[in-house]
Structure 1
Amino acid sequence: MIDIEKTLYSAHTCTTGGREGTGRSHDGRLDLKLSPPGAPGTGTNPEQLFAVCWSACFLGSLRHACNARKIVFPAMAGVDAQIDLVHGEHGFFLQAKLAVSLPDIEPQVAQQLIDAAHQNCPYSKATRNNIKVSIILA
């Protein structure tokens, strides 16, 4: 366990109804209808939310890695995240695939930035050694 020096932000939400319910933030900025993966109609699911959240955070870590190396962060940088809900002998699990696009950055440098981002991204840290993760340069 790590020592916490300072809490920078706390997100507060309330979810009811599970995969067929709703999720709302206490500040009212987030208000989502939830639905199981593949279900007809509207609504998102936890796997989609996790993919969006991790990819957004990973982009922030990439920007930080660029800034630390005095490299201009590409305006069109992106992360295509795939979160799979899988089932195995011991129940349900997640696995992740992140395809990172860093246009106008040489592949060797881009890979170094990806490696640095993966070391610093809070979502990467939270999932490290807990789920199967594949991160590639797209």
Structure 2
Amino acid sequence: MKLMYEAEAKAQGGRNGHVVSSDNVLDFEVRVPKSMGGEGGAYTNPEQLFAAGYAACFDSALNFIAQKQKVKVENTEVNAKVGIGQLSNGGFGLAVELLVKIPNLDKEQAQALMEAAHKACPYSNAIRGNVDVKLELA
């Protein structure tokens, strides 16, 4: 694969620490959510960051495929939910739900476009076979 772009970020302190991108654009304190036994509060966490990245990436893939297929779409929206849980082997895993909004297309055409985007999206390709991803049209 020929790289087009490479992002770099550093984490210190794990889930109760700090993350920063190499260009300092992303610079956050991270904390374990209250539901996982942490202090919670006005902090982000790895699952929120993954959800934001996946949603943005999938929406871009959706619009890329629509443009490639010459399908006119406007105001598409992707809501990503990322859950974390313990696996039977003692490790941890993720589950993802993507709620995809494609206004002004019939359900069949929107479904086909969403599925094509799922094949093109780098996040989808990176986790395929490892993470359950549920796709749903809004």
- Tell me the TM-score normalized by structure 2: 0.92
Q: Does 1:84 align with 2:88?
A: no
2:50: which partner in 1? Answer: 50
Deviation string 1:63-94 (CA, Å, 9 cap, x unpaired) is: 0111012122212x111111110113212111
Q: Does 1:74 align with 2:74?
A: yes
SS across alignment from 2:19: strand
1:94: which partner in 2? Answer: 94
Query: Residue 15 of structure 2: which of 19, 22, 28 is its match?
Result: 19
2:113: which partner in 1? Answer: 113
Alpha-carbon distance between aligned partners in 2 of 1:98 and 1:132, rounded to the nearest angstrom: 11
Structure 2: tracts of 5 or more residues without a match:
none
CA RMSD, Structure 1 to Structure 2 (Å): 1.0
Question: Retained in 1: the 8 A contact 2:73–2:103?
Answer: no
Question: Retained in 2: the 8 A contact 1:33–1:42?
Answer: no
Structure 1: tracts of 5 or more residues without a match:
none
Alpha-carbon distance between aligned partners in 2 of 1:73 and 1:36, rounded to the nearest angstrom: 38
* Aligned residue type for 2:8: H
* Aligned residue type for 1:36: V
Question: Retained in 1: the 8 A contact 2:73–2:104?
Answer: no
Query: Residue 8 of structure 1: which of 4, 7, 15 is its match?
Result: 4
Give the length in aligned residue pairs: 133
* Cα shift at 1:119: 0.3
SS across alignment from 2:15: helix
Percent sequence identity is: 38
SS across alignment from 1:10: coil
Alpha-carbon distance between aligned partners in 1 of 2:62 and 2:72, rounded to the nearest angstrom: 11
SS across alignment from 1:109: helix
